Amino acid sequence: MRVLILLAALSAAVFARDTFEGHQVLRIVPKDEEHLSLLKELEEMVELELDIWRGVTDLETPVDIRVPRSSLESVKSLLESQELQYSIMIEDLQTLLDEEKEEMEAATRDAQPRDTDSFDFSNYHTISEIYEFQNMLVRENPALVSKIVIGSSFEGRPLNVLKFSTGGTNRPAIWIDTGIHSREWVTQASGTWFAKKITTDYDKDPVLTAILNKMDIFLEIVTNPDGFAYTHSNNRMWRKTRKPNSGSSCVGVDPNRNWDAGFGGAGASGSPCSETYRGPRAHSESEVKAIVDFVKSHGNIKAFISIHAYSQMLMYPYGYTRTPVKDQTELHSLARKAINDLSALYGTYYRYGSIINTIYQASGGTIDWTYNQGIKYSYTFELRDTGRYGFILPANQILPTAKETWAALMTIMDHTSKNPY
């Protein structure tokens, strides 16, 4: 009987999984301001069920949109009628997703890791595998690593944060988070690698050792656990939280539009069905509120780094206003150095600057709030790539992505350590 129930549950899970067969990712190149306006209108056409992978910014930056098969003919006809050039970046999204799934399944057929040395950092992992990795890392490094739970998600999952500390109380600290947008799998994978790198390099790398002898590092690898679990079980393209919205059948809030920094302004949506829905109020999402409460109660965080994908950018505040931050000169200079150090590894090209000038206007963002709380070194990354694979970055790019990002993180952390304020 139990076997029958299990088979039924597995069948339900399979049938519940969203399919993206025939969905294409189009890259659209605007030529003038009229084209930019048309693309902004296109983004708001809810009936087309478009998924904006890379939104409208400027004439130098293409726009990437996932178009369902049912809307392909309409969208392509509209683009052609307006003389908007486009190319097909991904011919059939489901084909890539099937390949990704097969790779993960092949990796899990191998023996489960007994320790973090045998953990496969070159593949994507489920939330349970990442949580178990965290537990192993703490067990192996009790003098350096501890796990704190800063809250729970809407669905009741723990919001785990790894604390790397060599002792002392309420020391100046650095915060790093990955995976606030759940479908950006290379970020959670990189965060897992960062955690191991810290334990491996402490007492060996003099720069990291000096940082940890003065400061603590807090790392939240799965910042949006409900969304991340949902990307594995139902919808690989899920971005938001999983909290139901009152009065709407659409679920979830964009946790990077939910912070009390220009909340509700341009660059966020008031529609619950939008991928950039800001939520009913600032800090309405438990995943966001937990970080807000932690930052405020700690009171001594000196750098805050939130990691996203994709587009290959390193940015500092602001996103909600064009008013430059008072530390712009220093933040820009440090971003340049960090990107030079990142590029030195594999030659990966990154853009850098303030959010509003580098990517687009966005209100209610994480690092705008942290900067306004007095955390000077507030940065956000957009990791690989620039759109060939977008959110479906092949697993063979995890380690290069993590390693080059670590070089930039070390630059920021070293500067923070050496420039107290």
Positions marked catalytic: 382
Bridge partners of 164, per DSSP, are 145, 217
Listed residue (275, 308, 306) closest to 368, CA to CA? 306
Listed residue (372, 187, 220) closest to 294, CA to CA? 220
Name residues whose C-beta falls within 8 Å of residue 102's C-beta, 6 or more positions apart in sequence. none
Bridge partners of 109, per DSSP, are none
If 0-12 CB within 10 Å is exposed, 13-18 middle and 19+ buried, where does residue 29 land?
middle
> CA 315, CA 412: separation in Å to the nearest integer?
12
> CA 48, CA 72: separation in Å to the nearest integer?
9
CB 27 within 8 A of CB 87: yes
Residue the block writes with tokens 């294409």: 24
Q: Please report how the helices 225-233 and 127-140 are oriented relative to each other, as an axis angle in degrees rounded to 10.
A: 130
Name the pairing type of β-strands 377-383 and 173-178: unpaired
- Cα 327 to chain center, whole Å? 25
- Residue 34, Cβ neighbours under 10 Å: how many? 12
Longest dimension (CA), the chain: 67
Bridge partners of 351, per DSSP, are 313
Residue the block writes with tokens 């899990």: 108
3-state secondary structure 225-238: HHHHHHHHHCCCCC
Name residues whose C-beta falls within 8 Å of residue 270's C-beta, 6 or more positions apart in sequence. 264, 277, 278
Which amino acid belongs to residue 327?
Answer: D
If 0-12 CB within 10 Å is exposed, 13-18 middle and 19+ buried, where does residue 120 land?
middle
Q: Between the CA of residue 356 and those of 57, 178, 253, 260, 320, what are the distances in Å?
A: 9, 21, 21, 17, 7
- Which tokens belong to 113? 């890791």
Q: Which segments of 222-277 does DSSP mark as H helices, in order?
A: 225-233
